[in-house]
Amino acid sequence: MKVGETIYLDHQATTPVDPRVFVKMAAAFTNAFGNPHASEHVIGWRATEAIAAAARQVASLVGADPDEVIFTSGATEANNLALLGLADYAERSGRHRVLLSAIEHKSVLAAGRVLAQRHGLEVAVIEVDRQGRVDEAALAAQLDGDVLLVSIMAVNNEIGTIQAVDRIGALARAAGALVHCDAAQAPCAIDIGDLAHHADLISLSSHKIYGPGGIGALVVHRGVQPCLTPLIHGGGQQNGLRSGTLPLPLCVGFGAAAELLSGTSAREERDRVRACRDLFVETLLAEGCEAVSNGPDTRLRHPGNANLLLRSVTAADLLAALQPTLAASSGSACASGIPEPSHVLRAIGLTSEEADCSIRFSLGRSTTADEAVQAARIVSAAVERLSSGPLRATL
């Protein structure tokens, strides 16, 4: 898609609100504006039903039940609730180890550090291979009766790696551990209609799936809900796990966006995005640009993701040179401002210098084939200009 004259290839950072979603939200702002926790009048009742409908839509996305959906401010809060919310249960259960993959989102890794530093839990890293896939044999060797939780991202936000959550979940559960899955990037990449059968806690984000920002969810199996201690206290809403008045229009938008990602149309959309992604990479190579793909091959990758190592230029220089014509990123937008190489790229074996020369291009629902070709030519021309100048990178 274009935003003015800018081709937008940063859909894994955030997606534009789908017009169909916006229509549903507009009605919630005007006709169904009530407090969903106001139980004494019809306006509140209507708002309550709208929230319930949104919960059904989000639950259906992952194969859960509506009462298992806990709305949050986003996936970062959901990740924090999933990990930190289990700190007290660790003492009750007698299990004191947590396993996280090396390429988890920063919010999961940071929460893991809090569990270790403030709560005394042992937090260990599960290594990944060059494609970013969890080493299942290594995971199996780490599992024992002391493991409380295994946290694995379904689809990576930087290199697009799709994990085998079904097999990983089975290994963890066989050892008696709970399974948390950060699935923020998954709905636009794969069918996750049965994810709740493989994970006990699932984090979701609305703004990654063409819904509004500021809303997400932690889907918690009802049998696991008593194990969680809330992070936000107040009126006891949402089964006592996340107090506060729910933002009705945001919940409605989240539900509408989730509903759009089910069925045949979602599969067709993923196929179309994958074709545009492949066209972008093929055109870039045909233009003579020396680019190497970081991470998995296309079968095991988010259909819109192309994380490329461009050895002749640094990512910072190239991204600056592309402005205002093209928007992409060097990695996770949630880590912006942190002057360090991507932990994901380092985990799959890249050097710091190689990571600094890598860019994530992420195509989405409204990206056209013409835009994919145009973007590739813009990138190639910018690389050529920078490669012949004084800012040339040397690896």
pLDDT per residue over 128-182, tens digit each?
Answer: 999 999 999 999 999 999 999 999 999 999 999 999 999 999 999 999 999 999 9
**What does CATH list as the number for 19-259?**
3.40.640.10
Instruction: Provide the percentage of residues in the chain whose pLDDT is more than 90.
Output: 86
How far, CA to CA in Å, does 2 sit from each of 23, 198, 258, 260, 325? 21, 38, 23, 22, 9
pLDDT at 313: 95
Residue 3 has a CB neighbour count (10 Å cut-off) of 10
As its CATH architecture, domain 2-17+264-387 has: Alpha-Beta Complex (3.90)
Calculate mean pLDDT across residues 109-136: 97
In this prediction, residue 319 has a pLDDT band, given cuts at 50, 70 and 90, of very high
Beta bridge partners of 124: 99
Residue type, 288: G
Question: What integer best gives the mean pLDDT of the chain?
Answer: 94
Q: Where are the domains of the chain?
A: 2-17+264-387, 19-259
Residue 260 has pLDDT above 70, yes or no: yes
Residue 336 has pLDDT above 90, yes or no: no
Q: Residues with catalytic annotation?
A: 334
Residue 230 has pLDDT above 50, yes or no: yes
Calculate mean pLDDT across residues 271-280: 98
Calculate mean pLDDT across residues 45-69: 96
Q: Are 202 and 224 in contact (CB under 8 A)?
A: no
Q: Are 155 and 104 in contact (CB under 8 A)?
A: no
Residue 394 has pLDDT above 50, yes or no: no
pLDDT at 337: 56
pLDDT at 44: 82
pLDDT at 272: 97
pLDDT at 38: 80
| Nearest-5° Cα angle at 274, 273 to 279 | 100
Residue 389's Cβ-count burial label (10 Å; 0-12, 13-18, 19+) is exposed
Residue 357 has pLDDT above 50, yes or no: yes
Instruction: Provide the percentage of residues in the chain whose pLDDT is more than 70.
Output: 96
Sign of CA dihedral 106, 109, 115, 120: negative
In this prediction, residue 201 has a pLDDT band, given cuts at 50, 70 and 90, of very high
pLDDT at 377: 98
Query: Among residues 316, 305, 298, which one has the least CA distance to residue 355?
Result: 316
**Displacement of CA 341 from its chain's centroid (Å):** 19
Is pTM beyond 0.85? Reply is yes
In this prediction, residue 332 has a pLDDT band, given cuts at 50, 70 and 90, of low
Residue, of 280 and 264, whose pLDDT is higher? 280
Residue 311 has pLDDT above 70, yes or no: yes
Residue 225 has pLDDT above 80, yes or no: yes
- Supply φ then ψ for residue 161, to 5 degrees: -60, 130
Interstrand relation of 178-182 and 201-205 (parallel, antiparallel or unpaired)? parallel
pLDDT at 234: 94
In this prediction, residue 391 has a pLDDT band, given cuts at 50, 70 and 90, of very low
pLDDT at 34: 80
Calculate mean pLDDT across residues 235-257: 96
Helix (H, G, I), strand (E, B) or coil at 73: coil
pLDDT at 372: 98
